[in-house]
Amino acid sequence: MHLARVVGDVVATIKDPELHGHRLLVLQPILPDASPVGRRLVAVDATGAGVGEYVFFVRGREASFPFLPAAPPVDACVVGIVDAWHVDEDAQSGPPRS
């Protein structure tokens, strides 16, 4: 699992029939200190996450598991919304406040 921040929604007028009814989100992967790392990606949402929230996401074959027995053609999926995290005693708990 990886940490990310939801930075946007994807609106698609035409998409694979297996994806109908599923939201697509734009994610920015982050490090435990909440700094961005890597490129943004699009992931299907299995949790109801929204823009600005911190989430867990999976990649690869496991991305379609939340939708079994259906198998939508996805390679990234949001599987959890992060309430807080703690790195060590000196670090601040939870996501940074805006």
With 0-12 CB in 10 A as exposed, 13-18 as middle and 19+ as buried, what is 69? exposed
CB 91 within 8 A of CB 84: no
Tell me, yes or no, whether 23 lies in a domain: yes
Render pLDDT for 17-63 as a digit per residue (tens, 0 to 9). 888 888 999 999 999 888 999 999 999 999 999 999 999 999 988 88
CATH of the domain at 28: 2.40.50.220
pTM assigned to the model: 0.82
Tell me, yes or no, whether 46 lies in a domain: yes
Q: Two tokens at 92?
A: 């601040």
Q: Domain residues for 13?
A: 2-81
Tell me, yes or no, whether 96 lies in a domain: no
> CA-to-CA distance for 46 and 88, rounded, in angstroms?
29
Number of domains in the chain: 1
CB 37 within 8 A of CB 55: no
Tell me, yes or no, whether 14 lies in a domain: yes
Tell me, yes or no, whether 51 lies in a domain: yes
